[in-house]
Amino acid sequence: MTNGTLDYEAVVIGSGFGGSVNFCRLAQKWGDKVLLLERGKRYPMGSFPRTPQQIANNFWNVEGEDIDRPQHIRKNSNQSLRGMFDVRLFKKMDALFCAGLGGGSLIYANVFLEPPEELFQQGWPATVNKAMLQPYYHVARAVLGARPVPSWEQEPRRKIIRTELFQAFAKHEGRTSTLADINVFFGNQYSYEGGNTPLDIGVQEKNRYGAQQTSCTYCGECDVGCNTHSKNTLDLNYLHAGEKHHGGKIRTECLVDKIVPLNVAGEDDASANGSHGYRIEFKDLNLGQVQSCKTQRVIISAGTFGTNELLLRCRDVFKTLPKLSAQLGRWFSGNGDFLSFVPDGQKPADPNYGPVITQYTDYNLFKDFKRNQGFVFEDASYPSFLAWYIEGVFPAGLLRKTLRLLKAGWQWLKNFCKTGSWAGSLGFLFHELLKGDLSYKSSVLLCMGLDHGDGTLTLNKQNRIDLDWPQDTSMPVYQAILDAGNRYKEFVKAKLFIPLPTWNMPVRHNVTVHALGGCILADNPEQGVVSADPQHRGEAFGYHGLYIADGSILPSAVGANPIATITATAEWIAEGITGIKPDASLGIPAPQPIVQELQS
Ligand SMILES: Cc1cc2nc3c(=O)[nH]c(=O)nc-3n(C[C@H](O)[C@H](O)[C@H](O)COP(=O)(O)OP(=O)(O)OC[C@H]3O[C@@H](n4cnc5c(N)ncnc54)[C@H](O)[C@@H]3O)c2cc1C
Ligand code: SF4
């Protein structure tokens, strides 16, 4: 129980995978005595931006945060921007992550992939391994509804050409392509345990937690927010259950700035160890006011950059958490992320149809594990409105189309003079203009793997997060990815393989969307920041009731897409705090149809 002077049993900071799990599980125990503070907005169905103007304003750039961002975001923002995309520029690596209720789930590619057992054998504390985490992976997979895309044998509309192309490449390479488990809603009887019958495309129903979703429409827009709520984002499962069923409180557009331990009198006391709770100071961005609340315990889940920045500021600038480990900020990993493009091949790729990622091809991550080189090779899609844009901006494509149009016009004129017929001319001209478009035969390659995980997060001169990424130590995995990309180019008979533009000399920047580390799990404070001891899971060394649960606690790259492991470790930590064994019901009785299906 709270000791009377405290407002909450727990305050959760951030609503990504770590934060949502903890909010829901703690609300199962303490109801409205749990508060979640999230800096971004809510995104109800249909609210994700689509017009150029809306997307241009959908970045994060609030005043007072002196952060290096791309020029156009800073220049175009005469007011503070509170959109989803948070872009950071560092010396050797840039990063993209998300602000909004649901954190990275709002723009993620939905992949749920457990790393292999071998991963945990080096750099991870002995208590945290695949066997220990397995039940938590299982619960996370069930709540997030992870399944591969439905078969298209019976239903041609579900066919994804890109998947077949990547499968053919894997075969050509002598590698294994596996359909990825993705957290996308294809109806209750398909997405959740027990059923194998997808709901018709575009039809809506309430999911097992009571949130309205639409059976995936294959629009390819997952990375800019799913306007039909077909992605199983966290606001539709963990957060929904925590808020609507268990009464937990959520405040959005509240940016946490400071955590201060309290003494026995309930006063700020930097020498206290958290036994008497904490005061959380935050800015309500709508009111423009600094507010605070007091809580018995705090779960920091602000994502790798957010959590490290908050804690480094508390330790080194405000000096309110001086006992935090000296390891804070160490062992950062970009999870070997590498994005590249193969434009204008000779084989259809159709990258504008279907969920963003559908398969992964294994290169020594799962089979013949190689610690410095293992990676996965994934297909990616992008929204069709971008395909129209690409068609318009590439001069080679324009020239080709102009010539085609002139040829078609000449054919039409000859036909008209001969027969006097106009019939079909408009349709024919359109067909000639659009056929064989550039995007249809272009591929986006998304790879990630085992980088060296030896980056360091610090504060810059403005006391904001900074990254030192010693890229060279991770070159074996990047080189293996570059080689595979070049072979893909040969396979589809394209002329170009283009690693992301920032990789070109002299810049040579990586871009990560999978930032990990800095507050790693360890056996003692000399090795990491939070405890791997089963009795103190995720608790910061030096403090009571100060927990961290997000990507920052993973001690190394996981090679696979990381949310499976972030969610599983968050479930493990939440169980340690509440003593409640997690299951996929989230404390809500399953709706009748699902129960019947499981019984029959
Ligand atoms: C385009 C894209 C595609 C991706 N696809 C996949 C995929 O398919 N599979 C996969 O496994 N991973 C994917 N990822 C990565 C995945 O999204 C992240 O690894 C994951 O979201 C990290 O979870 P987290 O709990 O650590 O933090 P986050 O999800 O980053 O959540 C942190 C939250 O804290 C909030 N916050 C930060 N600071 C504060 C503060 N001071 N006060 C209040 N709130 C704060 C943020 O706004 C955010 O909502 C993708 C990422 C991107 C960008
Ligand atoms: S493909 Fe479209 S409808 Fe399906 S999950 Fe992605 S964004 Fe949503």
User: How confident is the prediction along the chain (600 residues), in pLDDT tens digits per residue?
Assistant: 445 689 999 999 999 999 999 999 999 999 999 999 999 999 999 999 998 888 888 999 887 776 776 766 665 555 688 999 999 999 899 999 999 999 999 999 999 999 999 999 999 999 999 999 999 999 999 999 999 999 999 899 999 999 999 999 999 999 999 999 999 999 999 998 668 999 999 999 999 999 999 999 999 999 999 999 999 999 999 999 999 999 999 999 999 999 999 999 999 999 999 999 999 999 999 999 999 999 999 999 999 999 999 999 999 999 999 999 999 999 999 999 999 999 889 999 999 999 999 999 999 999 999 999 999 999 998 888 777 777 766 655 666 666 666 776 677 667 667 766 655 555 555 555 566 577 888 999 999 999 999 999 999 999 999 999 999 999 999 999 999 999 999 999 999 999 987 887 777 888 999 999 999 999 999 999 999 999 999 999 999 999 999 999 999 999 999 999 999 999 999 999 999 999 999 999 876 554 444 443
Sheet strands (E) in 85-162: 85-89, 93-98, 146-147
The rounded Å distance from CA 85 to ligand 1 centre is 10
Closest to 158 (Cα-Cα) out of 149, 167, 170, 166 = 149
Which of 97, 257, 317 to mutate to test ligand 1, by most ligand atoms within 8 A of the CB atom?
97
425-434 helix and 395-419 helix, angle to the nearest 10 degrees:
160
Which of 98, 113, 141 to mutate to test ligand 1, by most ligand atoms within 8 A of the CB atom?
98
**In which element (H, E) is residue 283 found?**
strand 278-284
DSSP secondary structure code for residue 19 in this structure: H
- Residue 198: cis peptide before it, omega within 30 degrees of 0: no
Ligand nearest to the CA of 352: 2
216 within ligand 2 shell (Cβ under 6 A): yes
231 within ligand 2 shell (Cβ under 6 A): yes
Task: Enumerate residues 6+ apart whose C-beta is below 8 A from 207.
Answer: 145, 185, 188, 191, 192, 213, 232, 236, 237
Task: Enumerate residues 6+ apart whose C-beta is below 8 A from 485.
Answer: 340, 342, 445, 447, 497, 499
Ligand 2 atom at minimum distance from 381 CA: 1
Return the residue whose CA atom lies nearest to atom 4 of ligand 1.
108
103 within ligand 1 shell (Cβ under 6 A): yes
Return the residue whose CA atom lies nearest to atom 2 of ligand 2.
219
pLDDT of residue 560: 97
Distance of CA 246 to the CA centre of its chain: 26
Closest to 376 (Cα-Cα) out of 351, 391, 359 = 359
The rounded Å distance from CA 303 to ligand 1 centre is 6
With tokens 């999230």, the residue in question is 38
Ligand 2 atom at minimum distance from 225 CA: 7
217 within ligand 2 shell (Cβ under 6 A): yes
Burial (CB count within 10 angstroms: exposed 0-12, middle 13-18, buried 19+), residue 495: exposed
d(CA 457, CA 304): 10
Identity of the amino acid at 593: P
The residue extents of the domains of the chain are 8-384+444-599, 395-437
**What is the CATH code of the structural domain delimited by 8-384+444-599?**
3.50.50.60
9 within ligand 2 shell (Cβ under 6 A): no
pLDDT of residue 1: 42
Ligand nearest to the CA of 465: 1
184 within ligand 2 shell (Cβ under 6 A): yes
Return the residue whose CA atom lies nearest to atom 20 of ligand 1.
104
| Apex 506 CA angle, 501 and 508, nearest 5 | 50
The rounded Å distance from CA 175 to ligand 1 centre is 30
Ligand 1 atom at minimum distance from 562 CA: 11
514 within ligand 1 shell (Cβ under 6 A): yes
Report the half-sphere exposure of 290 (CA within 13 A, side-chain side).
Answer: 6
pLDDT of residue 600: 38
Ligand 2 atom at minimum distance from 110 CA: 5
Ligand nearest to the CA of 559: 1
Q: Is-contact 184 232, C-beta < 8 A?
A: yes
133 within ligand 1 shell (Cβ under 6 A): no
Return the residue whose CA atom lies nearest to atom 14 of ligand 1.
108
The rounded Å distance from CA 37 to ligand 1 centre is 15
The rounded Å distance from CA 216 to ligand 2 centre is 5
Report helix, strand or coil for 105. helix
Task: Enumerate residues 6+ apart whose C-beta is below 8 A from 78.
Answer: none
Ligand nearest to the CA of 227: 2
| Apex 164 CA angle, 225 and 387, nearest 5 | 40
Task: Label each residue of 414-469 as H, E or C.
Answer: HHHHHHCCCCCHHHHHHHHHHCCCCHHHCEEEEEEECCCCCEEEEECCCCCEEEEC
226 within ligand 2 shell (Cβ under 6 A): yes
With tokens 């000779």, the residue in question is 346
d(CA 596, CA 600): 6
Q: Is-contact 209 241, C-beta < 8 A?
A: yes
Q: Is-contact 183 144, C-beta < 8 A?
A: yes
Ligand nearest to the CA of 217: 2
pLDDT of residue 507: 75
